[in-house]
Chains A and B, each alone.
Chain A
Amino acid sequence: MTHSEPARTALRVAVTGGTSGLGRALVDAFAARGDAVAFVARDAARVRSVAAAVPGSHGIVGDVASKDDAHAIALQVGGALGGLDVLVHNASTLGPVPLALLADTECEDFEQALATNVLGPFRLTKALLGLLAASARESRERGERAVVVHITSDAAFTPYSGWGAYGASKAALAQLGRIWHEELAPHGVAVIDVDPGDMDTPMHAAAIPDADPATLKRPRDAARELIERIDRERAAPRTADVP
């Protein structure tokens, strides 16, 4: 931060899938501007390594697809940050890899995609809603909202062949977010969809191994755009507040 910028209150941010791709770039970018960041990922060694590489970040080992992990993750997020202003549901799975036609998709792979991409974000938002709503009550005077981000994809809206499990789960996630947004707006919590576009990430490489990385967005750039969007949403006028 340069001295010419106005003072900004540091945010308390949680990012799922924080050890690679866009999630890792978000952890770096939030931490670099002084925000307090907790991130979640499944692999304990990678969580340790990112937490060590990003001073002040808090690594949490957990699987967003697991019902048993949701409250344990929420406890660690709230405990580490002392509150929560922004939650980014970035963790995601493609379903079958290599990508499969729906007719060739195993039911278990589809269920896993729904567990990670839909049920996981639902459970974690629910378990963290007390913290988000508390943040919104405390920042009402400043007109700020708590923000929940769902990472979506054009595959949620365009029926690409071979993207059945992923596309259907992301479509469900998008609708989940719209309904959350309706229901939580009076409580000062905004739930938004962000489609970061095609990025040079391990997940994209798994989906389209022969893509030319030079044609793909760098996660660092996508993270910067996403944070700008979050800042705008946070400051957007609050409507229909509860008394």
Chain B
Amino acid sequence: MKAATAPVQRPRDARLLVVDARGGVSHRLRSALAEALAPGDLVVANDAATWPASLAGTHVATGEAIEVRLAGRASLAADDVRTFSAVVFGAGDHRTPTEQRPLPPPLGVGDALALGPLAARVVAVLGHPRLVALRFDGDADAIRAGIARHGRPVQYAHVEAPLALWDVWTRIAALPAAFEPPSAGFALDWRMLDRFAARGIAFATLTHAAGLSSTGDPALDARLPLDEPYVIPAATVAAIAAARRRGGRVVALGTTVARALEHAASQRGGLRAGSGVADNRIGASTRLAVVDAIVSGTHEPGTSHHALLAAFVSAKTLARVDAELEAGGYRTHEFGDSVLIERAAVRCGRDAAVARGWATLADAALAS
């Protein structure tokens, strides 16, 4: 697949490859996502706003230039902005592919980092010369102001122009929580939400701290995704229960939504409203408890996002999807095209309604 290089969230020709529960594949316009879903379905989106998590600065002891990419924090609590995990690069910026970025100077506990108006110290090195925990000086308001003014959105060499926050905030961006945009949500605009409502498709949100998608370092990339805090509102848990009662499907808009919902469902007592930290990996061996279908970007085999799709369909179907994306000239990365993949039909009685398939349900709704 070729990379989408223009930072446009909703190109008119953005495409959606749809895989139904029986493995049938169709090609649609992503702007017609509402029409690809069925009345009664519930779309759950990640409404995280994205931090400008790339902080340019210097390693004070050596005077060397560094780029710090904030990558995680322990919770989404408002005051919890002092300590972050972060990936540190040496001199340069996003225009150099991450694979070619130099290491930072050797980082040790206690090292001071000057990041524009922000001052921070390394409080731990996390098993890799690029991965640290850092702690900012100052109170929470000052730290947020410093990040808001000095930070830039994390970006990669396939998009050359510097991104602004409005390029990476989805139309529903709410709490600052993500370190890279929850980009499946780029598909949404408010007209689409109205279209969902008109078709009887419910909509709910959760907030999940989507982390870095890549560091360019194989050892570090193998550790992604890092643990990611999330918050699930009570209204969303109620919306999922209501969708279940009416036989509608739960459609996760993005891998982060699937990760949060499946993590929450795996805890004692099952899916509950509240906060958690997702440390799960979703893959071929995952038995999905909540999510019936997923909308995601088009991902290259070998990435954690691609592996997650194997929870929904067989390896054989996934290989066919990859071939269709390649043959169809689909674009990849955060501003690229999308897939809508329904969990393969199966397995237990509860899935009977699901197994009827997208096209069948949608056609029935249109005919009625």
Complex contact B175–A131 (CB within 8 A): yes
Q: How far is the CA of A80 from the CA of B139 in the complex (A)?
A: 11
Known: A59-B141, A80-B141, A138-B235. A243 touches B47 (CB 8 A): no
Complex contact A242–B235 (CB within 8 A): no
> What does DSSP make chain B's interface, helix, strand, loop or mixed?
mixed
Complex contact A76–B141 (CB within 8 A): yes
Does A82 belong to the interface (CB within 8 Å)? yes
Does B222 belong to the interface (CB within 8 Å)? no
Q: Indicate with 1 or 0, residue by residue over A69-91, a CB within 8 angstroms of chain B CB atoms.
A: 01111111011111100000000
**Contact for A72 among B148, B173, B236, CB less than 8 A:** B148
Complex contact A76–B203 (CB within 8 A): no
Known: A75-B49, A76-B144, A80-B144. A187 touches B175 (CB 8 A): no
Q: How far is the CA of A141 from the CA of B235 in the complex (A)?
A: 8
Complex contact A187–B193 (CB within 8 A): yes
- Tell me which residues across on chain B come within 8 A of A129, comparing CB atoms: 171-172
Q: How far is the CA of A105 from the CA of B201 in the complex (A)?
A: 51
- Tell me which residues across on chain B come within 8 A of A68, comparing CB atoms: 164
Number of interface residues of A (CB under 8 A): 34
Does B200 belong to the interface (CB within 8 Å)? yes
Does B289 belong to the interface (CB within 8 Å)? no
Complex contact B172–A130 (CB within 8 A): yes
- Tell me which residues across on chain B come within 8 A of A75, comparing CB atoms: 49, 51-52, 144, 147-148, 165, 176
Q: Indicate with 1 or 0, residue by residue over B136-149, a CB within 8 angstroms of chain A CB atoms.
A: 00001100110111
Complex contact A81–B78 (CB within 8 A): yes
How many A-B contacts at CB < 8 Å in the complex? 99
> What does DSSP make chain A's interface, helix, strand, loop or mixed?
helix
B18 → A minimal CB distance (Å): 23
Q: Indicate with 1 or 0, residue by residue over B147-173, a CB within 8 angstroms of chain A CB atoms.
A: 111000000000000001110011111
- Tell me which residues across on chain B come within 8 A of A46, comparing CB atoms: none
Within 8 A of B (CB), among A46-74: 51, 58-61, 68, 70-74
Q: How far is the CA of A141 from the CA of B51 in the complex (A)?
A: 30
Known: A80-B141, A186-B197. A134 touches B234 (CB 8 A): no
Closest residue of chain B to A59 (Cβ to Cβ) is B141
Does A194 belong to the interface (CB within 8 Å)? no
Complex contact B166–A78 (CB within 8 A): no
**Contact for B145 among A61, A130, A134, A242, CB less than 8 A:** A61
Most A CB within 10 A of own CB, among B77, B202, B235: B235
A46 → B minimal CB distance (Å): 15
Within 8 A of B (CB), among A97-143: 127, 129-131, 133-134, 137-138, 140-141
Closest residue of chain A to B175 (Cβ to Cβ) is A78
Known: A60-B145, A72-B149, A138-B233. A79 touches B172 (CB 8 A): no
Complex contact B166–A80 (CB within 8 A): no
Closest residue of chain A to B77 (Cβ to Cβ) is A82
Complex contact B78–A79 (CB within 8 A): yes
Q: How far is the CA of A79 from the CA of B82 in the complex (A)?
A: 12
Complex contact B174–A127 (CB within 8 A): no
Does B194 belong to the interface (CB within 8 Å)? yes
Does A225 belong to the interface (CB within 8 Å)? no
Closest residue of chain A to B40 (Cβ to Cβ) is A243
B52 → A minimal CB distance (Å): 8
Q: How far is the CA of A51 from the CA of B238 in the complex (A)?
A: 38
- Tell me which residues across on chain A come within 8 A of B193, comparing CB atoms: 187, 242
10 A/B residue pairs, CB under 8 Å, sorted by A: A71-B165, A75-B147, A76-B144, A78-B49, A78-B174, A78-B176, A130-B169, A134-B174, A137-B204, A141-B235
Minimum-distance CB pairs A-B, first 7: A130-B174, A71-B165, A242-B197, A72-B148, A82-B78, A131-B174, A130-B172
Q: For the A-B complex with A51-B141, A134-B47 known, give 5 more contacts whose Cβ atoms are closer than 8 Å.
A: A71-B169, A81-B78, A130-B173, A138-B235, A243-B200
